[in-house]
Amino acid sequence: MLLFNGIDANYAPLMMGLGFSWRTERGEPIGDLYRYLAEKGINCARVRLWVGEEGSSRFHYATSVMEMAREANMDVYLVIFLSEGWADLYKQPAPKAWETLSIERKTEVVKVYTADVIKRIVHMGFRPVLYQVGNEIDYGICGIFASDKKRRKNVNWLKRRIWRYEAEVLRSAFESIKSVVPDASLAIHLGKWWDHTLFTSFLSAMEEFNVDYDVLCISFYPTGLGVGFEVLDKVKEAADSLGKALIIAEYAYPSGPMKGQFWFMNKQVPGYPMTLEGQAKWIRDFISYCRELGVRGIFYWSPELYLPRMRRKDDPGPPEMPLGFGWEPMALFDGSGKAKPAINSLNPR
């Protein structure tokens, strides 16, 4: 059952503040992007939270995204990054004030920080349906990171030097969440699920180190690999074998060639050309496949970010959250802000 048909549209407040806007497929102005997406079948918003009070994706910004979702009658899925900025498969920086802390001290700080932000969020009347700690944490979390590319190919080394300490951080954060919201649904998120050895070894290690969670999340960008939907079957089997629900935390498909930072996402999936029509068909079929497979939820990443690739000095976004890295082909709005045909694929009949 596809419970959550969601989006990760965290650029919206920043873009609105800079004067950007969106239009319907008929060219009419969209007054409230989240309400518009709700009308298209979206029922949940994935919200990223970076450490800190002010600035992009930090506490006040993140809660403004939650408020946009609440006003559109969407549920909230909260991602607690445990970093002051981007953290993903190939980087997991700790907040500067935490960088030199021992593992023991870091887990204590994480515990206090997590409890504090969850208490504040709950006090504001928000009740996320899912709490994810970390983002694409295959190689580490919160400064505990396998930066040596050669060594991180060795899963035994990863288990000894990274995952055992990563598990302490996860347990600490999850315990804090549960202390505030006893019935909270907890999630971990992996990015390199196609590396079977890495994927299964990580999951086994988390089981061995007693990391208790409810949902396994993955990122799925098929044109990075040129793969069809069927590759998700083994991921679902792995989740089922552990008694976990499966959520696709991030997904997207391009309507044209990718350039810039994500130039490598250009491997067309057979049957789905990278065109406006191909994008619309892929999304429609993907949602149907996930429903049949029993995926719990899916979240389209940055459908709102329609800016084309541009030079850094011309980028209107702040240094920590630039806008012009070339996501427009993946967006569900064209370069002028007008909705693409794929917008109507979000809720296939």
pTM of the model: 0.98
Q: What is the per-residue pLDDT for 115?
A: 98
Show the tokens assigned to 306: 């329609």
Residue type, 235: V
Q: For 104-161, how does the pLDDT look when each residue is reduced to its tens digit (9 = 90+)?
A: 999 999 999 999 999 999 999 999 999 999 999 999 999 999 999 999 999 999 999 9
Structural domain harbouring 49: 4-345
* pLDDT bucket at 348, cuts 50 / 70 / 90: low
* DSSP per-residue string spanning 159-176: IIIIIHHHHHHHHHHHHH
Cα angle 150, 155, 159 (rounded to 5 degrees) comes to: 115
Which residue is associated with the tokens 């497929």? 25
**What is residue 307's DSSP assignment?**
P
CA atoms of 273 and 327, how far apart (whole Å):
17
Q: For 37-90, how does the pLDDT look when each residue is reduced to its tens digit (9 = 90+)?
A: 999 999 999 999 999 999 999 999 999 999 999 999 999 999 999 999 999 999
Sign of CA dihedral 129, 5, 54, 167: positive
Residue 72 near residue 34 (C-beta atoms within 8 A) = yes
- Return the number of other C-beta atoms located less than 10 Å from residue 218's C-beta: 24
In total, how many domains does the chain have? Answer: 1
Which residue is associated with the tokens 């067309």? 268
CA atoms of 58 and 113, how far apart (whole Å):
13
Q: For 209-232, how does the pLDDT look when each residue is reduced to its tens digit (9 = 90+)?
A: 999 999 999 999 999 999 999 999
Q: For 274-323, how does the pLDDT look when each residue is reduced to its tens digit (9 = 90+)?
A: 999 999 999 999 999 999 999 999 999 999 999 999 999 999 999 999 99
Chain-centre distance for alpha carbon 28: 29
CA atoms of 20 and 93, how far apart (whole Å):
30
CATH of the domain at 319: 3.20.20.80
**What is residue 325's DSSP assignment?**
S
CA 292 to each of CA 42, 205, 335: distance values in angstroms, whole numbers, following the listed order: 18, 30, 34
- Return the number of other C-beta atoms located less than 10 Å from residue 202's C-beta: 24
